[in-house]
Amino acid sequence: MSNFKILSTGLVAIALSLSTGCTPTTPHDQNTSEAPTATTLPVQATESPYPTVSPTASGQNRLSSSDRQFINEAAQDGLAEVQLGQLASQRGAREAVKEFGQRMVQDHTEVNNQLKQLATQKGITLPTSIGSKNQQVKQRLSKLSGAKFDRQYINQMLQDHQKDISAFQTEAQQGQDSDVKAFAAQALPTLQEHLEQARSIVNSGTSTSTPTSTSTPTSTSTPIPTNTP
């Protein structure tokens, strides 16, 4: 009877151990399967895609409408003076007109380059054409040659430089941007020299033609009254 109790208690113990011993294997499998999920988190947001797009070009250099208009007109007129000067060096009859045209090309090219630097500093895009009015003048002069070209070209230079000097003086005195005012004041002496040279060409042309016609009548008319008495 005691052996039966021992056998029954042993069977109960074996049954308990079997019921509790079936579960321990599962936690190890779960640990191995969950491990890779922790490594799928790459560090991607460390560098934010926000570079410095335009730190200083946002509206740093703002010009007034009058300053901007002056720059645009000066650019168009400067390009026109270069192109008309090239015509003068090709179509002019007098050597003085040809030399004046060459000086227009040289001087206004230099002034135009200074204006380009100023426009770049101020963030302005200059016009690349000479404008409709200047284009009409160029077309008209392109159809002329010789003495007719000389007269029309020099007269046009007188008008253009008188207008330019007035505009540059106004900007140098009343402009709002200090850099634009300085550019206008610096270019003024060159424009004034151009105007004086154009005037001298006109005066030299009229002085060489009129004295020859007026000197001969005076010399031929004086001997006639002396022989009558």
Q: Give residue-wise pLDDT tens across range 51-81.
A: 333 333 434 458 999 999 999 999 999 999 9
Q: Residue 28: which region, alpha, beta or left (left: phi > 0; alpha: psi -120 to 50)?
A: alpha
Q: Give the model confidence (pLDDT) of 13-41 as tens digits.
A: 555 555 555 444 444 444 444 445 545 55
Rounded Cα distance, 191 and 35, in Å: 83
Average pLDDT, the chain: 78
pTM above 0.75, yes or no: no
Buried b (16+ CB within 10 A) or exposed e, 17-45: eeeeeeeeeeeeeeeeeeeeeeeeeeeee
Rounded Cα distance, 157 and 92, in Å: 14
pLDDT recorded at residue 53? 33
- Are the C-beta atoms of 143 and 127 separated by less than 8 Å? no
Q: Residue 81: CB partners within 8 Å, gap ≥ 6?
A: 104, 108, 160
Per-residue pLDDT band at 6 (split at 50, 70, 90): low
Residue 212 in tokens = 């020859």
Residue 107 in tokens = 């001087």
pLDDT recorded at residue 16? 56
Distances (CA, A) of 206 to 80, 120, 152, 213: 27, 45, 14, 11
